[in-house]
Amino acid sequence: MEDDIIYLDHAAATPLVPEAATAMMDAYRDAPGNPSALGHSGRAAARLLEEARDRMAQALDFTPERLVFTSGGTESVGLAVLGTLLPRERGHVIASAIEHPAVLGSLQILQRRGFEVTLVPPDPGGVVDPERFAEAARPDTALACLMHVNNELGTVQPLELALGRVKERAPSCTTFVDAVQSLTRLPLEPERWGADLVALSAHKVGGPRGVGALVTGSRRPQRIFGGGDQEWGVRPGTENVPGVVGFVAALLAAEAHRTERASQVSEVCAAFEEELRRQVPGARINGNRDNCLPWILSISVAGISSEALVRGMDELGVLVSAGAACHARAQKQSHVLRAIGLSPRLGTIRVSFGAESTVDNARRAVQTLARTVKRYAIG
Amino acid sequence: MEDDIIYLDHAAATPLVPEAATAMMDAYRDAPGNPSALGHSGRAAARLLEEARDRMAQALDFTPERLVFTSGGTESVGLAVLGTLLPRERGHVIASAIEHPAVLGSLQILQRRGFEVTLVPPDPGGVVDPERFAEAARPDTALACLMHVNNELGTVQPLELALGRVKERAPSCTTFVDAVQSLTRLPLEPERWGADLVALSAHKVGGPRGVGALVTGSRRPQRIFGGGDQEWGVRPGTENVPGVVGFVAALLAAEAHRTERASQVSEVCAAFEEELRRQVPGARINGNRDNCLPWILSISVAGISSEALVRGMDELGVLVSAGAACHARAQKQSHVLRAIGLSPRLGTIRVSFGAESTVDNARRAVQTLARTVKRYAIG
């Protein structure tokens, strides 16, 4: 990427950090064997894999048996949702209406198979009310899905309250948390949250593409695909040892600096908001800012389309996204913005900061936003 | 890996070739964005991905729309088998009894859902008789699975005859070929084979772990997981652009030298067989050698266990496997060796050659095998 580009789309994908790149290439060099092979080559690869699993588990303060490595966030979500429900004939699922498309899409698959799904809308600030969420639970509710940090708004959901109340009403219900956007930004605390399953992704935390993990508890989901016995029999297929090693290297690097980075990004985000009030006074920030991570900002402006905003800023070297990347091309209002009641006539962008974001870049990004609005906005 | 190691387990995993390593790292540097993002960063990543898809399609002589990138061979197989059948309520499937565990495991999942499965045994040489295979087809057969090259024996299956005859008997049947072991070793010819779907894996051809592809025709399977619209809506999740780029770089490098490598490996394999007859006259080579790739050799010896053979050779620096890596740890006779009627009392190893294998290494490997047999064999 050119040096003069200001990249503010970290919620879509983060650059690979050097620690991860080095760890991956070392693994390719040192352990080319298949970790399932008997003997030397297999052992070297299996050792690297298990060391990485141990280090990740230790950093996150749980046991290595609880980590299932996958090909990314989408597979982790699918394994959690489909692997928990598909072995049953029927059942009821609850989820927030602002879950990631990977969750909502998996729920659609379940609906087509006869499962009942209740989606709980958030409040206008993009936060799900825990009582309202739990009220949707019934004695036959088999799965409850609530994300930790919303990927479009940055709002933090009240996991502990919501999932705790669900478990009171439906004690045998499996609880699932999509923590893809909170990993390394907030502590990962499945026990405190009351989460049985937690989905994670490597490429949102400086790790490689095509790698993710599912944290399990005493309940592991059933495998989706057939094949070998890898990953406790839950996820067959030759393990992506270099990918896992790269993921863990990135995760440890980020965890080591979590507190500093949080305060740095808070400062960057505050500078962005202040400059925004000055330069684009008509802009509104979506989502309850009292309950938000500073890593993600959702900004709406009247009289200009989301696409014009993104493309206009892009031409000037500032890279942001229109809602979430995964449906940016659909060019319709996202389900999240609709769920908080935002007018589809407003142009909306998502700005997401990363470890390398600076106050200066944040201010320059706002100036670019202001120029884009001046150039393209109508009225 | 140490330099004095002789690695003969390429059917389990190949070392990453330099072309692939460079291409991956360049992609991480040049296109850190999410290919689904609007604007600059997304475009750069999407362009790399589509260029890779175009180059791979061109090298294999079909159109890019037919390539769905996945997280590896197991997912490609699962997507083909489950994505074709699960949308139906019921149906009949035929497959050879020597398919990869990814295929057989997916068929077990289907059986548990009420699908009927017929497994067709091979002849004692490890080749499926095309007439016998086709005779298993019925008018309601929805899927026929036949691998190209068996991963334990190296035997080449008569795809064209078998699948052609199946289509005569069951014209609406989808045909699926697992070509993981033949890619870059034999031409990939779905049309000639009569294959609607073909599964491929990167890490068997010098590419990265965690990457595969499914070649589709006019019939695409349905997606297994919910999520974004990536990969023609068939395989949601942020695309592993660096992984795909690395896969394609490795594939093109291997395709460019397919003929030379085939004759080189034939020579290596012939030297191995000749030395084996001299050094271990009691050894038998499994599988019909008139119908085999020279890349894979399955060798059985009486009076010694598979594990003792693998571990004994391993101690002397020669890395082979006991059957397929994916169930090496199970330490029971593989379904393939059982299907060809091999005595479970014979010790069996799989030797699989790669681009860097030499005649000298092959001879040294046999000497190591001979020493191991002398040291550990009973009687």
At a CB cut-off of 8 Å and minimum separation 6, what does A203 contact? A13, A14, A72, A209, A210, A211, B238
Strands B67-70 and B212-215: antiparallel
Q: Which domain holds residue B317?
A: 6-15+258-376
What's the pLDDT band for A326 if we cut at 50, 70, 90? very low
Cross-chain Cβ contact A242/B5 below 8 Å: no
Amino acid at A230: Q
Q: Would an 8 Å CB–CB cutoff place B81 in contact with chain A? A: yes
Question: For residue B1, is it within any domain?
Answer: no
Question: For residue B166, is it within any domain?
Answer: yes
Give per-residue pLDDT as tens, A349-365: 999 999 999 999 999 99
Domain edge (last residue) among B236, B255, B274: B255
What pairs with residue B156 in β-bridges? B149
CATH number at residue B237: 3.40.640.10
Cross-chain Cβ contact A105/B327 below 8 Å: no
Q: Same domain for B272 and B229?
A: no
Minimal Cβ distance to B311: which of A25, A38, A320: A38
Q: Which of B3, B38, B110, B200 to mutate to test the interface with A (most CBs of A within 10 A)?
A: B38
The nearest CA of chain B is from the CA of A202 a distance in Å of 11
Contact A314, B38 (CB under 8 A): yes
Structure tokens at A363: 């201010």
Please determine, for residue B287, whether its predicted confidence score (pLDDT) is greater than 90. Answer: yes
Q: Same domain for B220 and B363?
A: no
The nearest CA of chain B is from the CA of A351 a distance in Å of 12
- A with B: how many residue pairs have Cβ under 8 Å apart? 304
Please confirm, yes or no, whether B292 is among the known catalytic residues: no
Question: For residue A175, is it within any domain?
Answer: yes
Please determine, for residue A1, whether its predicted confidence score (pLDDT) is greater than 90. Answer: no
What distance in Å separates the CA atoms of residue B25 and residue A74, rounded to the nearest whole number? 23
Q: Same domain for A103 and A185?
A: yes
Question: For residue B121, is it within any domain?
Answer: yes
Question: For residue A243, is it within any domain?
Answer: yes
Give per-residue pLDDT as tens, B159-201: 999 999 999 999 999 999 999 999 999 999 999 999 999 999 9
Cross-chain Cβ contact A78/B227 below 8 Å: yes
Give per-residue pLDDT as tens, B232-253: 999 999 999 999 999 999 999 9
Q: Which residue has the higher pLDDT, B38 or A311?
A: A311
Please determine, for residue B56, whether its predicted confidence score (pLDDT) is greater than 70. Answer: yes
Cross-chain Cβ contact B82/A225 below 8 Å: yes
What distance in Å separates the CA atoms of residue B245 and residue B248, rounded to the nearest whole number? 5
What pairs with residue A141 in β-bridges? A92
Averaged over B119-128, what is the pLDDT? 98
Question: For residue A121, is it within any domain?
Answer: yes
Contact A363, A284 (CB under 8 A): no
What distance in Å separates the CA atoms of residue A112 and residue A110, rounded to the nearest whole number? 5
The nearest CA of chain A is from the CA of B10 a distance in Å of 8
> How many Cβ atoms from other residues are within 10 Å of residue A1's Cβ?
15
pLDDT at B52: 98
Please determine, for residue A379, whether its predicted confidence score (pLDDT) is greater than 70. Answer: no
What distance in Å separates the CA atoms of residue A347 and residue B142, rounded to the nearest whole number? 48
CB within 8 Å of chain B, chain A residues 43-62: 44-45
Question: For residue B300, is it within any domain?
Answer: yes
Is this complex's ipTM strictly greater than 0.90?
Answer: yes
Minimal Cβ distance to B37: which of A34, A77, A321: A321
Owner of token pair 């890996």: B1
User: Which burial class, exposed, middle or buried, applies to A159 when counting CB atoms under 10 A from its CB (0-12, 13-18, 19+)?
Assistant: buried
Q: Same domain for B249 and B338?
A: no
Q: In angstroms, how far is CA B80 from the centroid of its own chain?
A: 15
pLDDT at B218: 79
The nearest CA of chain B is from the CA of A328 a distance in Å of 6
Write out chain A residues lying below 8 Å of B322, CB-based: 38
Q: Same domain for A243 and A275?
A: no
- Rounded (to 5) percent helix, strand, coil in chain B: 45, 15, 40
Q: Chain-wide mean pLDDT for chain A?
A: 94
Domain edge (last residue) among B255, B273, B299: B255
The nearest CA of chain A is from the CA of B159 a distance in Å of 22
Cross-chain Cβ contact B319/A228 below 8 Å: no
pLDDT at B368: 98
Give per-residue pLDDT as tens, B19-33: 999 999 999 999 888
Please pick, among B145, B173, B269, B326, the residue that the annotation labels catalytic.
Answer: B326
Q: Which of A34, A70, A205 to mutate to test the interface with B (most CBs of B within 10 A)?
A: A34
pLDDT at B2: 59
End-to-end CA distance of chain B: 35
Contact B162, B123 (CB under 8 A): no
The nearest CA of chain A is from the CA of B314 a distance in Å of 6
Q: Chain-wide mean pLDDT for chain B?
A: 94
Which region holds residue B231: left if phi is over 0, alpha if psi is between -120 and 50, else beta? Answer: left
* Alpha helices, H only, chain B: 18-30, 39-60, 73-85, 101-112, 130-135, 159-169, 190-193, 241-256, 258-279, 306-315, 335-339, 359-376
Q: Is the dihedral of CA B299, B302, B307, B310 positive or negative?
A: negative
CATH number at residue B354: 3.90.1150.10
Minimal Cβ distance to A12: which of B34, B227, B236: B34
Cross-chain Cβ contact B311/A228 below 8 Å: no
Q: How far is CA A88 from CA A115, A119, B324, in A?
A: 9, 20, 33
Contact A138, A167 (CB under 8 A): no
Averaged over A260-266, what is the pLDDT? 96
Strands A318-319 and A6-7: parallel
Cross-chain Cβ contact B44/A78 below 8 Å: no
Q: Same domain for B62 and B77?
A: yes
What distance in Å separates the CA atoms of residue A216 and residue A79, rounded to the nearest whole number? 11
CB within 8 Å of chain B, chain A residues 221-250: 224-230, 236-243
Domain edge (last residue) among A222, A255, A288: A255
Please report, rounded to a whole number, the percentage of residues in chain B having pLDDT higher than 70.
97
**Which chain A residue lies closest to B41 (C-alpha atoms)?**
A319
Q: How far is CA A60 from CA A55, A66, A142, in A?
A: 9, 11, 27
Q: Same domain for A156 and A185?
A: yes
Question: For residue A1, is it within any domain?
Answer: no
Q: Which of A7, A30, A41 to mutate to test the interface with B (most CBs of B within 10 A)?
A: A41
pLDDT at A377: 84
End-to-end CA distance of chain A: 35
Q: Same domain for A100 and A219?
A: yes
pLDDT at B325: 52
Closest to A328 measured CA to CA, from B238, B31, B220, B53: B238
Please determine, for residue B326, whether its predicted confidence score (pLDDT) is greater than 50. Answer: no
Q: Same domain for B246 and B286?
A: no
Domain count, chain B: 2
Structure tokens at B191: 């049309």
pLDDT at B40: 79
Owner of token pair 């038998």: B284
Q: Same domain for A10 and A28?
A: no
Please determine, for residue A135, whether its predicted confidence score (pLDDT) is greater than 60. Answer: yes
CB within 8 Å of chain B, chain A residues 303-322: 307, 310-311, 313-314, 317, 319-322
Amino acid at B66: R
Q: Which of A14, A48, A50, A71 to mutate to test the interface with B (most CBs of B within 10 A)?
A: A71
Q: Same domain for A111 and A142?
A: yes
Return the SS3 of B86: coil
Q: How far is CA B253 from CA A244, B1, B71, in A?
A: 26, 22, 21
Q: Same domain for B285 and B225?
A: no
pLDDT at B329: 52
